[in-house]
Structure 1
Amino acid sequence: MAETITLEVCVDSADGLAAALAGGADRIELCSALEIGGLTPTSGLLRLATASPAPVVAMIRPRGGDFCFDEAETQLMLHEIDAVAAAGLQGVVLGASLPDGQLDQRTLERLVRRAGGHGLRCTLHRAVDLCPDLAQATAQAVDLGFERILTSGGAKGAPEGLAGLRRCFGAGAGRIAIMPGAGINADNVHLLRARLPLTDVHASCSEPVTPASPQVLAFGFDAGGRRRTSRDKVAAVKAALLS
């Protein structure tokens, strides 16, 4: 019998949530702006997700760009954690960096403490992939109380980051779940299964969205690059994990 591997799918819309669930996602990462790696979801999407039959965790990221957050941005994230808790979701996805790429332990301690006070589970997101020492960052995540790390092993995509992923698994030593993510699809997930002791996999299972019209782009209402969750792609990755 094949091992059980949890498929987490990130979504940024009502349609995306429905597609991920219809395709068989085991857990949802709720966000906005998939095209830049995800931002904090809207209050409306948080409310909609409360009806999900699968567990839902929400991204906590107030803006695009780097993960070096000042005090005002940290306060925003603390309030966003409160909103996720008020919505009754299961967890949050967090990350914060220092200018040299190392984890911002002080900020993360505050965020994890706030989440823990609400009973929310915490995932460390791909800010970890900017860290110069993935093994050290994994150990820090354990000490901070994270349940899971979402990482591509320091590479652009998880299939290219196998060496870094192995360092994370080794440093975690079973104390924290290591969840490969970025660039994973039904065609390459077998590679990860064959080389890593997988328990969780993260994927967007998305496809590009064509802007409604050139005028929408010209007026700046769409910057291009938006993506939409595909039910068929979710189902294909799920089938690959079950085979």
Structure 2
Amino acid sequence: MTTAPVALEIAVTSPAGAVVARDGGADRVELCVGLELGGLTPSQALVEATHETGIPAHALVRCRPGGFVHTPDEIALMEREVRAVLRSGAAGVVVGALRADRTLDRDALRRFVDAARSVSATAEVTLHRAVDHAIDPVTAAATVADLGFTRVLTSGGAPTAAAGAVTIARMVEAAGPVQVMAGAGVTPHDVPALVRTGVAAVHLSAKRPAADSAHDGVPMGGADDGSAHFVTDAEVVAAARRALDA
């Protein structure tokens, strides 16, 4: 039996980033805004424009920054966002929710999956790094197959995927038919070790500060420190691709 090649996913925030990822050999992109906040739901227009680049785009659906315990209103909103981004051309969605006891919110997750499949029977659904905030990421990974998830994005509960590699390998064993994708602080140097855990994909933002995008003066919000925004770095994407192909 042949082993499927490990996929490369790049987190991007713009159609330009999607083009860089595509031309650098990425298999798909995760599309979001507010990457510095951990990622938030992209707009309809952003999804449409990214879809036009030709690379499969999986849209993050996360209605606010912060933790993953959501109110009923937030869950209802994200359910609508799931349908909206798929109707706008996304090939999949990236979702997650926890209960206050740090177990997966299975009711919310089931609603997200059902919403996705109501738009497209072939939509891929990824459980995002809320799993890394769960009380037991390995157990969580073992319980999502019956909810209809395609994959789980994880750092193994650690600050970076490289640090969580041992747990990621356990999650691969536990997840059954659900793919496991390693992500968080990944650099091209980390790729070979992550591949050895048995993951189906590696995920990285491959970002660098945009030239001349920093600003001084009047802050635009509490989190605005005047820093530059980020763009996708073609050299990092290409290096990750080479590391996978080596």
TM over 0.5: yes
User: How many angstroms does 1:54 deviate by?
Assistant: 1.9
Written as runs of structure 1 = structure 2, the 5 A alignment for 1:162-201 is 162-173=165-176, 175-193=177-195, 195-201=196-202
Give the distance between the partners of 2:118 and 2:138, measured in 1 at CA. 28
Give the distance between the partners of 2:167 and 2:135, measured in 1 at CA. 11
**Could you tell me which residue of structure 2 aligns to residue 133 of structure 1?**
136
Q: Deviations over 1:74-132 (max 9, x none)?
A: 12111111211211221100000112221111111111111111122200000000111
Give the distance between the partners of 1:30 and 1:242, measured in 2 at CA. 24
Answer yes or no: is 1:103 the counterpart of 2:119.
Answer: no
Conserved in 1, the CA contact under 8 Å of 2:14 and 2:50? Answer: no
Conserved in 2, the CA contact under 8 Å of 1:92 and 1:121? Answer: yes
Q: Helix, strand or coil: the match of 2:149?
A: coil
- Point out the more displaced range, 13-22 or 156-165: 13-22
**Could you tell me which residue of structure 2 aligns to residue 220 of structure 1?**
220
Conserved in 1, the CA contact under 8 Å of 2:143 and 2:175? Answer: no
**Could you tell me which residue of structure 1 aligns to residue 145 of structure 2?**
142
Q: Helix, strand or coil: the match of 2:144?
A: helix
Identical-residue share of aligned pairs (%): 38
**Could you tell me which residue of structure 2 aligns to residue 112 of structure 1?**
113
**Could you tell me which residue of structure 2 aligns to residue 54 of structure 1?**
55
Give the distance between the partners of 2:104 and 2:56, measured in 1 at CA. 27
**Letter of the structure 1 residue corresponding to residue 178 of structure 2:** I
**Letter of the structure 2 residue corresponding to residue 157 of structure 1:** T
Closer/same/farther in 2, CA of residues 117 and 229 from structure 1, 3 Å limit: same
**Could you tell me which residue of structure 2 aligns to residue 6 of structure 1?**
7
Give the distance between the partners of 2:92 and 2:80, measured in 1 at CA. 14
Conserved in 2, the CA contact under 8 Å of 1:33 and 1:226? Answer: no
Where has structure 1 moved over 4 Å in runs of 4 or more?
A: none
TM-score, normalized by length of structure 2? 0.91
Larger RCO, structures 1/2 (Cα 8 Å, 6+ apart): 1
RMSD: 1.8
Conserved in 2, the CA contact under 8 Å of 1:206 and 1:228? Answer: yes
Tell me which protein shows more helix as a share of its residues: 1
Give the distance between the partners of 2:5 and 2:173, measured in 1 at CA. 20
User: How many angstroms does 1:227 deviate by?
Assistant: 2.4
**Letter of the structure 1 residue corresponding to residue 63 of structure 2:** P
Which of residues 221, 228, 240 in structure 1 aligns to 2:243? 240
Conserved in 2, the CA contact under 8 Å of 1:60 and 1:81? Answer: yes
Written as runs of structure 1 = structure 2, the 5 A alignment for 1:26-37 is 26-37=27-38
Conserved in 2, the CA contact under 8 Å of 1:208 and 1:228? Answer: yes
The unaligned stretches of length 5 or more in structure 1 are none
Aligned length: 239
Conserved in 2, the CA contact under 8 Å of 1:34 and 1:226? Answer: no
Give the distance between the partners of 2:97 and 2:4, measured in 1 at CA. 33
User: How many angstroms does 1:41 deviate by?
Assistant: 0.6
The unaligned stretches of length 5 or more in structure 2 are none
User: How many angstroms does 1:225 deviate by?
Assistant: 6.7
Q: Helix, strand or coil: the match of 1:100?
A: coil
Closer/same/farther in 2, CA of residues 21 and 220 from structure 1, 3 Å limit: same
User: How many angstroms does 1:233 deviate by?
Assistant: 0.6
Q: Deviations over 1:180-235 (max 9, x none)?
A: 00111111211212x312321111111234643212xx332644374221111111
Conserved in 2, the CA contact under 8 Å of 1:126 and 1:151? Answer: yes
